[in-house]
Structure 1
Amino acid sequence: MEDLGTPVLDNHLHLDPEHGRGLEAVRDFARLGGTHLLVVNKPSWLLGVEAETGDDFDSVFETTVDVVSEASELLPGRAWPVLGVHPGLVSRLVEDRGFAPEEASELMRAGLDRAAEFVRAGDALALKSGRPHYEVSDAVWRASNDVMRHAFSLAADLDCAVQLHTEAADDLTKIAEWAETRGLPAHRVVKHYAGGMLAGPTPSVMSEKDRLEVAADRAEPFLMETDFVDDPDRPGAVLGPKTVPRRVRWLLDAGHDDAVANAHVETPDHVYGIDTEATLSR
């Protein structure tokens, strides 16, 4: 098992112990020097759940909590669950199941309420929400923004972070302002699948070299991720679980020690309140 001399955190990936690689992906991550994971639940429908009530999301969340517990046993550090409702669910509800946008929003907010209970109990670290990254009707857009703002209110009450799935952008200050209006500091809003430059939320940068070079040169808080989807039907989708450790090695070799400390020690503490150095002593 390679030791890179630093904590190595993948801020956003998925693990599917039933249909995907599951713990084998964790072993790959650890063998290359990875130490910590933030594991986001897969979209509910990809785990066979067509929710009718907020409680129906519980099995999705429990699947993630369980695999995170097993993953932690394989890591030099540990893993944490990030739970919520994928914003793409709104389209599935409206277009495939005949929900009105407002009804879809109500169900998705109820799912977030359930995710919040896992955070409140100490079984999850943060929430996940957002809005579609593709074209939707005005009514669906409004409904999606209502869901996202609800996530901010829950996170403010829980004193936790929110990871967002949104459209590609380098300026999301309006979203950060919505969070702050609800009592959630902007830095605790994390834009998943971000480029190296972002105004407003904290960027979770896709671990491609060009994006990471921008983030490293900016010297602003950032995180690193793969968005590994763990879907055998999409083997080449996004990045694999070995990528973050490999990119950390590449950054260190290029003299970006400060950027590595930023992404894997300082920003995780700043955003989530987690100590990736102390948890290496587990």
Structure 2
Amino acid sequence: MIDDGTPVLDNHLHLDPDNNRGIDAVRDFARVGGTHLLVVNKPSWHLGVEADAGEDFRPVFDRTVEIVDAASAELEGRAWPVLGVHPGLISRLVDERGYSPERAREIMRGGIDVAAEYVADGRALALKSGRPHYEVDDAVREASNDVMRRAFERAADLECAVQLHAESSEEMSDVTEWAEAVGLAAHRVVKHYAGGRLEGPIPSVISRKDELEVAAERGEPFLMETDYIDDPDRPGAVLGPKTVPRRVAWLLENGYDDAVRNAHVETPARVYGIDTEATLEASRTG
């Protein structure tokens, strides 16, 4: 069982504000002990936005902020938005809409700049960027890396974190070196959908028992996530919203108390500057 004083954070999931479970998924999470969420905006085209410029992403970010506010009202802790541009957009722009990789890069970097405005004024906690996790040609890959570097530059200015969507790997130290080169500390770079062992970025571990055991035994900073996508055509994908609280209970039952504190208190504080214990206590005493 989860102790009443234990914060439980899902570091990366999506909520559809219009077309699927939305707040019902948040209620499922809370019902089994979940207290905090980092909600990442869905890919822009999933919300009906075909971007031609950075400003076109603003409705996506606004709708995400709105549903995060609604999610916070359902939680004992709270939710925060993570805003940015899904790296898969570059393939949509180049392969489906006929843009050059260079023009696609500028559109996506413009979206990162707009997302940074939301972090700057306190409406969002962190940025999202990355590069395709599938094979692309050299021009598209380099353009994607340039978008990611822009996210690092903006995050360095804002002193915020960047969540990365990227290829599966256990070694991404080159990416954190790019971040550090522009003034962003390596611990502010988070690899979403990570395994339990990763060099470079902080791993946001997909909450499967085998990967969580690796992360727990390793003893390095890590986070936990479901990557729940709230897609009506793929119910439950990737993992359902109840998964993180259930995995926390499993970790506690198996003696991994230190790992739970690592993933849900210490690492969120280090990466994002958030205090999950204080926000939980404020909710319970307020």
User: TM tier, shorter chain?
Assistant: over 0.9
Distance 2:240 2:248 in 1: 14
Give the aligned partner of residue 30 of structure 2: 30
Counterpart amino acid of residue 76 in structure 2: P
Counterpart amino acid of residue 44 in structure 2: S
Give the aligned partner of residue 272 of structure 2: 272
Counterpart amino acid of residue 6 in structure 1: T
SS across alignment from 1:277: helix
Counterpart amino acid of residue 34 in structure 1: G
Give the aligned partner of residue 211 of structure 1: 211
Cα deviation per residue 1:217-236 (whole Å; 9 max; x = unaligned)? 00000000000000010114
SS across alignment from 2:20: coil
Give the aligned partner of residue 189 of structure 2: 189
Give the aligned partner of residue 230 of structure 2: 230
In the TM superposition, residue 145 of structure 1 has moved relative to its aligned partner by 0.3
In the TM superposition, residue 162 of structure 1 has moved relative to its aligned partner by 0.1
SS across alignment from 2:133: coil
Give yes or no for contact 1:4–1:249 (8 Å, CA) kept in 2: no
RMSD: 1.0
SS across alignment from 1:115: helix
1:141 is the counterpart of 2:141: yes
1:71 is the counterpart of 2:71: yes
SS across alignment from 1:148: helix
4+ residue runs of structure 1 moved beyond 6 angstroms? none
In the TM superposition, residue 237 of structure 1 has moved relative to its aligned partner by 2.0
Distance 2:38 2:141 in 1: 28
In the TM superposition, residue 17 of structure 1 has moved relative to its aligned partner by 2.1
Matches within 5 A, 1:42-191: 42-191=42-191
In the TM superposition, residue 76 of structure 1 has moved relative to its aligned partner by 0.3
SS across alignment from 1:228: coil
Distance 1:104 1:253 in 2: 48
Give the aligned partner of residue 8 of structure 2: 8
Distance 1:59 1:243 in 2: 30
- Structure 1: gaps spanning 5 or more residues: none
Distance 1:274 1:236 in 2: 28
Give yes or no for contact 1:82–1:126 (8 Å, CA) kept in 2: yes
In the TM superposition, residue 4 of structure 1 has moved relative to its aligned partner by 4.6
In the TM superposition, residue 3 of structure 1 has moved relative to its aligned partner by 5.2
Question: Larger deviation: 113-122 or 233-242?
Answer: 233-242
Counterpart amino acid of residue 177 in structure 1: E
Distance 2:68 2:236 in 1: 23
SS across alignment from 2:205: strand
Identical positions, percent? 73
In the TM superposition, residue 252 of structure 1 has moved relative to its aligned partner by 0.1
Distance 2:121 2:25 in 1: 27
Distance 1:236 1:185 in 2: 34
Give yes or no for contact 2:230–2:236 (8 Å, CA) kept in 1: no
Cα deviation per residue 1:212-266 (whole Å; 9 max; x = unaligned)? 0000000000000000000010114210000000000000000000000000000
Give the aligned partner of residue 198 of structure 1: 198
Give yes or no for contact 1:13–1:225 (8 Å, CA) kept in 2: yes
Give yes or no for contact 2:170–2:198 (8 Å, CA) kept in 1: yes
Distance 1:22 1:3 in 2: 27
Give yes or no for contact 2:36–2:77 (8 Å, CA) kept in 1: yes
Distance 1:219 1:279 in 2: 25
Give yes or no for contact 1:171–1:199 (8 Å, CA) kept in 2: yes
Cα deviation per residue 1:188-224 (whole Å; 9 max; x = unaligned)? 0000000000000000000000000000000000000
Give yes or no for contact 2:57–2:111 (8 Å, CA) kept in 1: yes
Distance 2:62 2:54 in 1: 14
SS across alignment from 1:163: strand
Give yes or no for contact 2:41–2:82 (8 Å, CA) kept in 1: yes
In the TM superposition, residue 52 of structure 1 has moved relative to its aligned partner by 1.1
Cα deviation per residue 1:63-110 (whole Å; 9 max; x = unaligned)? 110000011010000000000000000000000000000000000000
Counterpart amino acid of residue 229 in structure 1: I
Distance 1:275 1:64 in 2: 22
Aligned residues: 282
Query: TM-score, length-normalised on structure 2?
Result: 0.97
